Structure formats: C-alpha cells, structure tokens
Structure 1
Amino acid sequence: MSDAVQPGAAQVRAAADALKEAVDRHLAAIERRAAEPDADADADAEVFAAFNEMAAAGEAYDELLYDVYDEVTPFEVPETDGTAAYAGPEDPEALSVFIRRDYTVVDPRRLLAQARRVAELDPEAAADEEEADAQDAAGRSMPTALGVLFGEFEPDEIASRHKEFGLEEGDATLWVTAVDEPAEPGEWLPSPFEAADPERVICRFDISEAFDGDDMESAL
C-alpha cells in the first residue's frame, strides 16, 4: 500500500467523531421511543437502524485505530449482515440464550488447589467421610476438580476469574434467539442446544483471538 492511500491520524479522528455521532443518534432514537407511550413499529425500526449505524461506525473506528496505532477498542461490535436472515416473530415474547465458552487448562496445579480449597470450605465436610473423600478427590482428580469449581461458581465468575483457576480463555459465543413460548420445566435439558435455529437468532456475539468479521453477526 502506498503512502498516499495509507490511513492516518486524521482518518482515525474522523472515524471517532462519526462513532460519537452514531452513539448520540442511537440514544436519541431510544429516548424518542421511550417518550412515546404508544410507540409503533416505526419507532422500533428507527432504533434498529441507529443500532446498525452505530455498529458500522464502531467497526470502522476499530479497524482504523488498529491500522494506524496498532490499538483496539475495549468492546466487540457485532456485524449486521448475518449469514442467516432473521425469520422469527417481529415481537418475540420468549427468548432462549445459547452460550459457549472454551478454556484451556494451563496450570493444573492451580486448578486442583482451588478446587481443594472450595471443598474444604464446606463446614459439613469434615464430619462426613464421603465428603472427606470428595475433598481429597477434588485435589487430585481433574474431572472432579472441574466439577467442584463449575458447581460452586457462576459461569460469568469463572470467565472473569479464569486465571485464578489455572484456565486460559478460548473462543466464546452468545446467541439470543426467539422462541414461540417458554419451554416446560425440564423439556430441553436432555439436548439443551438442539433447538438453536440460525433463522431465529436475534443477535449473536462471538469473541476469538483469530477474529474474522464474518464470525460476528446480528439479525437486528
């Protein structure tokens, strides 16, 4: 690429200004809809359009920031042209959220130690021989240790504290999908991800070190 066409500081500043304006338009559209008690589909469409403009402006700024300064933004912006067109209800009344996070065990000793610590904090464990065996297994068996940690901590807490548990984050994805009605208790537990219909994905957020724009999409 020649010097004449390489992006520079002025382009980055212009992209930043465009993103600020897009954020303002998005917020203004939301405020207008909130101020109208009987807001209709046109108000929703205005918000969605402003969302898409903000996403595009954020992506342009992120790319220029990286090209010129080798820096990135602290947020992920979903693209708006997903591979599958949204074909769900216009006003979904029920949602299903599908989440996957991958990890690599980079420090087994740390993971085992943390699981052992969690098991030992159980006040009833010392009086129960079976629980004592479980404590010992938590400090020696990787599957048992992982069961202890993921049973004790919420997935979001594991994600935010993964280094403490000897884990390294891999790829992650979150899908918000529209469903016709809430499932009956226990209905989907045997196959929790079987009902992930790409045509009912309202929005999707992917995170990966090998990020490719084609991997992040939104149906809004």
Structure 2
Amino acid sequence: MTTPPHDIERLQSALDELTDALEAHLQACLARTGETDPAVISAYSALRNAADRYDNLLYDVTDEVTPWEFPEDPADPEFEADDAAPAQVGVLVRRDYEIDDTDSLLGAGREAYSELYPRDPAESAVADVSHPGRALYQMLHAYGVDGLDERAEDSGLRPRGGTVWVQALAPGDDETLTTEPFAVADEELLVYRVDEVIHTDDDLG
C-alpha cells in the first residue's frame, strides 16, 4: 500500500503539532503554580486536541490507531467572551476532592485548629476535629479556599477537578450572596470559564 505524498505531509504536520504540544505541556507542568494553573490547563487542552487530531488522521490515512483514549469531557475546558463589559461580576468557584486518607485529613484539621487557637491544648484539637467535615471546616477557617487547595494532597484529599466561572451579575444579584449564592449561575451571562477535569485510571476503564 502506497500512501500519497499529500497524506504523508498531512500526517507529518499533525505529528509536528503533537510533538510541539507535548513540549509545551511539559514546560507548563514544570512551571506550574498550583492544582488549577491556567497555563497547565491550556497546555493540557492543546495537547489533547493535537493528539486527537493525529489519532484521527492516522486512522483515516493508514487504518492504524494509537494506544490513546479520549474520554469525552462534559464541556469545553475554557471559554471567554471577548466583548463582555459588565458593570458587576461574580466569581463562582467549585473544587472537587476525593477523601483518600481520613487520618491525614483529621491530622491536617487538628493542625489548622492549633494554628487558630495556639493557646488551647492538643486535646482540644482532637476533641473538636473528630470527623472529616470538621477537619475541612477548620482548614477553610485557617487557610481559606486557596490554602485548602494548596494543602489538599498532603491532607489526604485527592483533587478531582474544578471549575471557575466569571459572569455578569444582574441588578439585585448581589443580594443573593448569602441566601442563594449559586442560584445566579447563568451560562448566557458568562464572561469567562475554565474547567479542570482530572481523570483517574478508574474513569478511563
């Protein structure tokens, strides 16, 4: 079977794009600033798309396949409305974790309690942080959402992904901040969105 020169050029071009995407992804990973580093997310998306294109073209031209699989994502990992100019915006953040090690999580929660109340004896931290929910409460109280995310893996939490929405707020939406904080979510009002979906071996089958 002879492959036409035009198809060989298309395959080589797709391969070059894939190797460039691999290099860019590696550099982004080496310079990452956290679990949801936008540069890593962008490089991951570009690498996935380049690998998908190469895989499809290879099959179309040669009837051969690569060993890669591409599980479908629920949505585009990134969206930006270039022409948006809202007067008021809300930043909606969701981060998902799997509790991998309950003992580590309890220990991290007790450490957070001790930082908040340094004069209390160790027994007080143990008594207060007696279950994972309380551990998360004290960690969020001590470190905030970003601090919890930075400490997640060392605290028995396995990151499973997250999403950040920046969207325009309608008049009166600010009044829902404490009563229905996520009821304002509206895709039609999105200014910017970035998702990170972390697949495990179980997800990939």
**Partner Cα distance (1:144, 1:157) in 2:** 16
Distance (Å, rounded) in 2 between the aligned partners of 1:205 and 1:165: 25
Q: TM-score by structure 1 length?
A: 0.55
Task: Name the aligned partner's letter for residue 120 of structure 2.
Answer: A
Instruction: Give, in angstroms, the shift of residue 120 of structure 1.
Output: 2.5
Tell me the equivalent position of 1:22: none
1:1-150 to 2 correspondences below 5 Å:
8=11, 10-14=13-17, 62-65=48-51, 67=55, 78=77, 90-121=84-115, 122-126=117-121, 133=124, 135-150=125-140
AA paired with 2:184? A
User: How many pairs align?
Assistant: 157
In structure 2, list runs of 5 or more residues that go unmatched: 22-41, 56-65, 69-75, 201-205
Q: Supply the distance in 1 between the matched residues of 2:20 and 2:123 (Cα, whole angstroms).
A: 61
Shift of residue 15 of structure 1? 6.8
Change (3 A) 1:79 1:115: closer
1:117-154 deviation digits (Å, cap 9, x = unpaired): 2222322324xxxx954x12344322221211121112
Task: Tell me if 1:175 matches 2:161.
Answer: no
Matches within 5 A, 1:145-156: 145-156=135-146
CA distance in 2, matches of 1:177, 1:147: 27
Give the fraction of aligned pairs with identical amino acids, expressed as a percent: 23
Tell me the secondary structure at the aligned position of residue 198 of structure 2.
coil
Superposed CA RMSD:
4.2
1:165 to 151, 155, 163: 155
Matched, 1:200 2:189: yes
Instruction: Give the Cα separation in 2 of the matches to 1:154 and 1:3.
Output: 61
Give the whole-Å Cα distance in 2 for the aligned partners of 1:3 and 1:157. 58
Tell me the SS of whatever aligns to 1:92: coil
Shift of 1:104: 0.9
Secondary structure at 1:202 match in 2: strand
Q: Deviations over 1:164-188 (max 9, x none)?
A: 110011131111101245865x642
**Is the CA contact 1:12–1:61 (under 8 Å) kept in the aligned structure 2?**
no
Report deviation, 1:91: 2.0
TM-score, L = length of structure 2: 0.58
Using the TM superposition, give the Cα deviation of residue 10 of structure 1 relative to its aligned residue in structure 2, in angstroms: 3.6
